[in-house]
Structure 1
Amino acid sequence: MAQKFRALLDLCKRRGFLFQSAEIHGGLRGAYDYGPLGVELKKNISQSWWRRNVYFRDNVVGIDTSIVTPHNVLKASGHVDEFTDALVDCLLTKERFRPDKAPEIEFKQDKGVSSGKIVIRSPDKETAKVWEKQIQTELAPGALITRQAKELLLHVKHLKSSSYGGPAGSIELETISGESLSVPYHGYVEPSTNSPFLTDERPFNLMFKTFLDPIDPIDRVIKTTIDTKTSDLKVVREQVDNILRPSTVYLRPETAQGVFINFNQIMRTMKTKLPFGIAQVGKSFRNEIRLEHAIFRTPEFEQLELEFFTSPWESPAWFDYWRKDRLAWWLEHANNKADFRTRDHEQNEMAHYAKGCMDVEYQYPWGWGEVEGVANRGCFDLTQHMNATGENFEVLEDSPKASSLLKDTTLVNDIPSEPTRFVPTVIESSCGLNRALLAYLCDAFHQVQEPGKEPRTVLKLHPRFAPVKCAVMPLTGSTDFKPYVEKVARSLRRQGLYTVIESQKLRIGKRYYRHDEIGTPFCITIDHQTLQDQTVTIRDRDTTEQHRININDVTSIVNNKIWADEAPEID
């Protein structure tokens, strides 16, 4: 699976889906640029999401809020004080990682049985020698270690385990002198090396902080630190933060807060009534501790978010509705539907205010990973901003009842019997566009083995997602074909279908294969018969079948094939 994923990433770079950002300057870790095909694929996924959640509905509107977010907004939402991950450093590798995502300790297996030796994997023999010396002199002085090529084996007498977040355990090691030596064990190890030699956990704020100020605030910081009479670093830090606070802003860590603070504006300008939703597509930023799997986890990412506002008594029913509807969208565009699943969060996984949460997950080459979350956030967000600003987000329901938009009202309960005021409950659907793109690329990536030939790649993207919808190909370079090529390409482009003219001096079969590799669902060939009877050949990417059709029918046939299975209405 890892080899297949590397082949996919090679294809992405070679054919213009994905590039390392600033590669000619050495690159920027975790940052990627989307090439001509990547930007089309991302746009197509985003547009499908928008059509499904906004254009197909009467009760959802869109918004686009500022990326630069004031301190007060994120203070009210809890992000300034609580948007943190635990951070741990490995004393051997210097790698940082999240302990809640780290594996438990691994022992060397001998014929399927644990040997009682912890295996630490180094990248090469020289590093193994350096680590052996560091362990025996600094981290576990005198520890008995067996070095086998790139691996170090720590001899263990006893392991007192610990679960993440619980009391610390310990590892009792054997020493060269025969005595015992105890080192801490917190229930996890550095993921890539299995090293248990770690720092204590410490909080790590995930937000990017910057300053909106015409005057460089660093001068004020310098003056404050010089004038401060104390050597207490905590006091100095508080004074510096107070000086900087008026100009402190953040790159938003999520798009949702921009929606919540505009709730009353939307209600007033769009004359909306509950239940209704506000959709947004936009960039968010998180100073991630561990970046992994290309674009799966990056500091800059794009979100497709919907905040759906409803009454408290209808919220269980709408939560159930959105769980089903969002999974249906993922499955609608998938080749291998079994590679998508839903997973309900355990109580200890959810935020303290959440009433329920479900993830849509995709089985990536490295395992299951979240691509979307659907959560019942209660009225927490609106209440927080009400308390911080004095703005009133309460809604008056004169005649409380179940919404006519709900097909199944069995989950609607505790409907008030008289007019009532309440702060709306929020059902949130939050999808990572970058992860969606990666999931659908993995889902579409097929390597076809034909007898006597090298394997070739077919990217079986759903036609609505395919970056290039049609390739128009003149059989030869004859100028006689040019008017027909231009006519077909122009008619497709006027329908908003990204179409390319493929006139390279290659055999027509090789040109077909080039477009199979980037996921082009249809190829239109102009040949000598076209000159005689105004027909062309249309080739299907997935079946490789070819049919003759009238040149004037190309656009309608292609359109029908692309949009045929799109959900005609929302149930």
Structure 2
Amino acid sequence: MSQKFRALLDLCKRRGFLYQSAEIYGGLRGAYDYGPLGVELKKNIQLSWWRQHVYFRDDVVGLDTSIITPHPVLKASGHVDEFSDLLVDCMLTRERFRPDKAPALDFNRASSDCGSGGKVPMLAPDKDTAELWQKHITEQLAPGIKTSLEGKKIWLHVDSFTPSSKTLSGSIVFSMVDKNLDSVTIPYHGYVSPDSQSPFLTPSRPFNLMFKTFLDPIDPVERIIHTTQQHDPSQQQRTVREEVDDILRPSTVYLRPETAQGVFINFEQVTRTMKMKVPFGIAQVGKSFRNEIRLEHGIFRTPEFEQMELEYFVSPWTSGYWYNYWRKLRYNWWLTHACHPEDFRQRDHESDEMAHYAVGCTDVEFKYPWGWGEVEGVAHRGNYDLTQHMKTTGAKFEVIENDQVSQDDATVDMALAPKNTPAKYVPHVIESSCGLNRAMLAFLCDSFHQIPADGNNQPPRNILKLHPQLAPIKCAVMPLTGKPEFLPLAQKIAQSIRKHGLYTVIETQKLKIGKRYYRHDEIGTPWCVTVDYQSLEDESVTIRERDTGEQHRIHWKEVQMYISDKLLE
């Protein structure tokens, strides 16, 4: 973890953006609570997204669907059978991880010839642990192999190393302490354990990411006991897993792994009640849950997270146009709010990355301190989802198109256009799926600046140059301290701004005005208003800009309009 990222996380905890959940009880791994400033930042990001997708358009409506999702919904969508990641265990450290996110082996060759002998490094947390690991490796995991210690680093001596390919596994052949012993060979699949760089791994296996629970007045355990006691021995022997699944299936529900399925199963309801016609979209912001194998980088990957999703329904012959339209629109939204647009990029998925039903998928990625990470995916999902739910339930999701397709319409792919009208089809879906938690972390990283201090041995000064629309506090009103006569005017200014829905605070700490400015620079407040002696004479105040430090003198009644106009720029 970089020093700058540590400083950002320290700021988030110290100033009220993020707290470790249940910290007084030792904390809960991967769970975070959003403090007073964090909840405001998150709400502002969500509001910006909602404005662009719903309020600024006449073809998108909102929805808020249930988190608890019945088994049949996720069975039809494929999540019960297919929503899984590969899981690998390290036989040395018991660490679990996804192989697609793990690093490759660091093989230090003894010579320049490919496949020749060399050493493989492993890294322990400390020297004592390194000694225990070395003993466990040489006595149990790979008896008799040659190793050496260098502080908390363990070197595994290798006779030969064969890299893996897409079709073939590689191998590691270790050197032996006793040359008369047969060599020890282990398979290599292209990765090692992320933290320890251990190559002693189990084969990969699928791991379903959904949280399962039960909606039933009867305790599931009691139901299993009661049913198995009545088991008919004449029935063909079945596995315990199969019997338990059958018993519990009527009451099995899941915490939704995405918000999208709630939109799809309400497609007909929305079109009927809101009189929507293709093309149109349904937007939703809400919590989703995934039993992630590896939780990492603060709020980047957590089991509980929020999604901002749009499902945009289109005809098959205009789906290509709308896919490109949403790819561009969504990418520009990120750039609009960025301090460093160069740290955002789009990446098209390769064919082997996409879901089996996807026609295309593009990720928006941000360059986090640890590397590029996905913050949003824009996918052309075809008509898979609606079709699956139709097959399972018999619902009528087809749309009838009565208008003749014009060859002059730039949105139309004439190769897919219907030959006759009316045309009946199941709409295709263009999906924008954005992680709200990841967006918050990306904008915090993007806006975090450290200004070197003037004096020696002084820590750098932190500034969050958040886009003003995203900033948690829009304005801080600062009466000079020690004089109660400044407070009534400060309160009138704050109230005039708050009436327009802008979060404003009165900063009365007994600090010099410069230090109070710096405190609000650190949390991203775009404007600070100072009430001083001149304010008592002519009702003018000083308004300071966060990013430039420039100050202007204006009448206090103009402050609200000044800030509102700046927010629209």
Written as runs of structure 1 = structure 2, the 5 A alignment for 1:188-267 is: 188-224=191-227, 235-267=239-271
Q: 2:437 corresponds to which residue?
A: 434
TM-superposed CA distance for 1:476, in Å, is 2.2
Superposed CA deviations along residues 315-338 of structure 1, whole A, max 9, x for unmatched, are 000000000000000000000000
Written as runs of structure 1 = structure 2, the 5 A alignment for 1:375-390 is: 375-390=379-394
TM-superposed CA distance for 1:163, in Å, is 3.6
Q: Quick check: 2:545–2:551 contact (8 Å CA) kept in 1?
A: yes
Q: 2:352 corresponds to which residue?
A: 348
Any unmatched runs of 5+ in structure 1? 565-571
TM-superposed CA distance for 1:230, in Å, is 11
Q: 1:414 corresponds to which residue?
A: 416
The verdict on how the C-alpha distance between 1:334 and 1:233 changes in structure 2, with shifts beyond 3 A counting, is: farther
The verdict on how the C-alpha distance between 1:257 and 1:528 changes in structure 2, with shifts beyond 3 A counting, is: same
TM-superposed CA distance for 1:182, in Å, is 1.1
Aligned mates of 1:319, 1:412 — CA distance in 2: 16
Q: 1:276 corresponds to which residue?
A: 280
TM-superposed CA distance for 1:167, in Å, is 3.6
Aligned mates of 1:464, 1:474 — CA distance in 2: 25
Aligned mates of 1:112, 1:534 — CA distance in 2: 78
Whichever residue aligns with residue 247 of structure 2, its letter is I
- The 3-state SS of whatever aligns with 1:487 is helix
The verdict on how the C-alpha distance between 1:33 and 1:81 changes in structure 2, with shifts beyond 3 A counting, is: same
Written as runs of structure 1 = structure 2, the 5 A alignment for 1:57-68 is: 57-68=57-68
Q: Quick check: 2:117–2:160 contact (8 Å CA) kept in 1?
A: no
The verdict on how the C-alpha distance between 1:389 and 1:28 changes in structure 2, with shifts beyond 3 A counting, is: same
Q: 2:172 corresponds to which residue?
A: 171
Q: Quick check: 2:278–2:313 contact (8 Å CA) kept in 1?
A: yes
TM-superposed CA distance for 1:43, in Å, is 0.1
Tell me how many residue pairs correspond in the alignment. Answer: 561
Q: Quick check: 1:350–1:357 contact (8 Å CA) kept in 2?
A: yes
- The 3-state SS of whatever aligns with 1:294 is coil
Aligned mates of 2:488, 2:415 — CA distance in 1: 66
Whichever residue aligns with residue 427 of structure 2, its letter is P
Aligned mates of 2:465, 2:237 — CA distance in 1: 57
Matched, 1:186 2:202: no
Aligned mates of 2:236, 2:126 — CA distance in 1: 43
Within the candidate set 513, 528, 532, 2:518 is matched to: 513
Matched, 1:334 2:338: yes
Superposed CA deviations along residues 243-262 of structure 1, whole A, max 9, x for unmatched, are 00000000000000000000
Q: Quick check: 2:540–2:556 contact (8 Å CA) kept in 1?
A: yes
Aligned mates of 2:141, 2:229 — CA distance in 1: 38
Aligned mates of 1:206, 1:196 — CA distance in 2: 25
Within the candidate set 152, 155, 160, 1:150 is matched to: 152
Bigger shift: 34-43 or 545-554?
A: 545-554
TM-superposed CA distance for 1:71, in Å, is 0.3
Matched, 1:54 2:48: no
Q: Quick check: 2:110–2:119 contact (8 Å CA) kept in 1?
A: no
Q: Quick check: 2:318–2:412 contact (8 Å CA) kept in 1?
A: no
- The 3-state SS of whatever aligns with 2:104 is coil
Aligned mates of 1:554, 1:231 — CA distance in 2: 80
Q: 1:443 corresponds to which residue?
A: 446
Aligned mates of 1:402, 1:196 — CA distance in 2: 60
- The 3-state SS of whatever aligns with 1:308 is strand
User: What percent identity do the matched residue pairs reach?
Assistant: 64
Whichever residue aligns with residue 222 of structure 1, its letter is I
RMSD: 2.1
TM-superposed CA distance for 1:482, in Å, is 1.9
Q: 1:569 corresponds to which residue?
A: none
TM-superposed CA distance for 1:69, in Å, is 0.3
Aligned mates of 1:22, 1:99 — CA distance in 2: 31
Aligned mates of 2:557, 2:131 — CA distance in 1: 72
Q: Quick check: 2:117–2:158 contact (8 Å CA) kept in 1?
A: no
Q: Given the two structures, how large is their TM-score scaled by the length of structure 2?
A: 0.95
- The 3-state SS of whatever aligns with 1:9 is helix
Aligned mates of 1:365, 1:115 — CA distance in 2: 34
TM-superposed CA distance for 1:112, in Å, is 11
Bigger shift: 298-307 or 192-201?
A: 192-201
- The 3-state SS of whatever aligns with 2:403 is coil
The verdict on how the C-alpha distance between 1:106 and 1:233 changes in structure 2, with shifts beyond 3 A counting, is: farther
Superposed CA deviations along residues 72-99 of structure 1, whole A, max 9, x for unmatched, are 1000000001111111100111010011
Aligned mates of 2:235, 2:292 — CA distance in 1: 31
- The 3-state SS of whatever aligns with 2:396 is coil
Superposed CA deviations along residues 458-513 of structure 1, whole A, max 9, x for unmatched, are 10000000000000010123121122111100000000000000011110011000
TM-superposed CA distance for 1:181, in Å, is 1.7
Aligned mates of 1:389, 1:183 — CA distance in 2: 49
The verdict on how the C-alpha distance between 1:522 and 1:79 changes in structure 2, with shifts beyond 3 A counting, is: same
Q: 2:528 corresponds to which residue?
A: 523
Q: 2:128 corresponds to which residue?
A: 126
Whichever residue aligns with residue 245 of structure 2, its letter is D
Superposed CA deviations along residues 35-74 of structure 1, whole A, max 9, x for unmatched, are 0000000000000000000000010000000000000100
The verdict on how the C-alpha distance between 1:233 and 1:61 changes in structure 2, with shifts beyond 3 A counting, is: farther
Any unmatched runs of 5+ in structure 2? none
Aligned mates of 1:313, 1:39 — CA distance in 2: 42
Q: Given the two structures, how large is their TM-score scaled by the length of structure 1?
A: 0.95
Q: Quick check: 1:102–1:190 contact (8 Å CA) kept in 2?
A: yes
Whichever residue aligns with residue 372 of structure 1, its letter is E
Q: 1:371 corresponds to which residue?
A: 375
Q: 1:567 corresponds to which residue?
A: none
Aligned mates of 1:319, 1:172 — CA distance in 2: 49
TM-superposed CA distance for 1:233, in Å, is 9.9
Q: Quick check: 1:71–1:245 contact (8 Å CA) kept in 2?
A: yes
TM-superposed CA distance for 1:115, in Å, is 7.1
The verdict on how the C-alpha distance between 1:155 and 1:221 changes in structure 2, with shifts beyond 3 A counting, is: same
Q: 2:499 corresponds to which residue?
A: 494
Within the candidate set 461, 464, 489, 1:459 is matched to: 464
Q: 2:565 corresponds to which residue?
A: 560
TM-superposed CA distance for 1:563, in Å, is 1.6
TM-superposed CA distance for 1:217, in Å, is 1.2
Aligned mates of 2:236, 2:366 — CA distance in 1: 49
Whichever residue aligns with residue 58 of structure 1, its letter is D
- The 3-state SS of whatever aligns with 2:317 is coil
- The 3-state SS of whatever aligns with 1:347 is coil
- The 3-state SS of whatever aligns with 2:322 is helix
- The 3-state SS of whatever aligns with 1:463 is coil
The verdict on how the C-alpha distance between 1:214 and 1:438 changes in structure 2, with shifts beyond 3 A counting, is: same
Matched, 1:481 2:482: no
Aligned mates of 1:230, 1:516 — CA distance in 2: 75
Whichever residue aligns with residue 127 of structure 2, its letter is K
The verdict on how the C-alpha distance between 1:230 and 1:208 changes in structure 2, with shifts beyond 3 A counting, is: farther
Aligned mates of 1:343, 1:251 — CA distance in 2: 30
TM-superposed CA distance for 1:430, in Å, is 0.2
Aligned mates of 1:279, 1:100 — CA distance in 2: 31
The verdict on how the C-alpha distance between 1:298 and 1:232 changes in structure 2, with shifts beyond 3 A counting, is: farther
Q: Quick check: 2:111–2:117 contact (8 Å CA) kept in 1?
A: no
- The 3-state SS of whatever aligns with 1:37 is helix
Superposed CA deviations along residues 423-460 of structure 1, whole A, max 9, x for unmatched, are 00000000000000000000010011143254111100
Written as runs of structure 1 = structure 2, the 5 A alignment for 1:313-324 is: 313-324=317-328
TM-superposed CA distance for 1:299, in Å, is 0.2
Whichever residue aligns with residue 337 of structure 1, its letter is P
TM-superposed CA distance for 1:310, in Å, is 0.1
Q: Quick check: 1:471–1:500 contact (8 Å CA) kept in 2?
A: yes
Superposed CA deviations along residues 264-314 of structure 1, whole A, max 9, x for unmatched, are 000000001000000000000000000000000000000000000000000
Whichever residue aligns with residue 103 of structure 2, its letter is P
Q: Quick check: 2:97–2:293 contact (8 Å CA) kept in 1?
A: yes
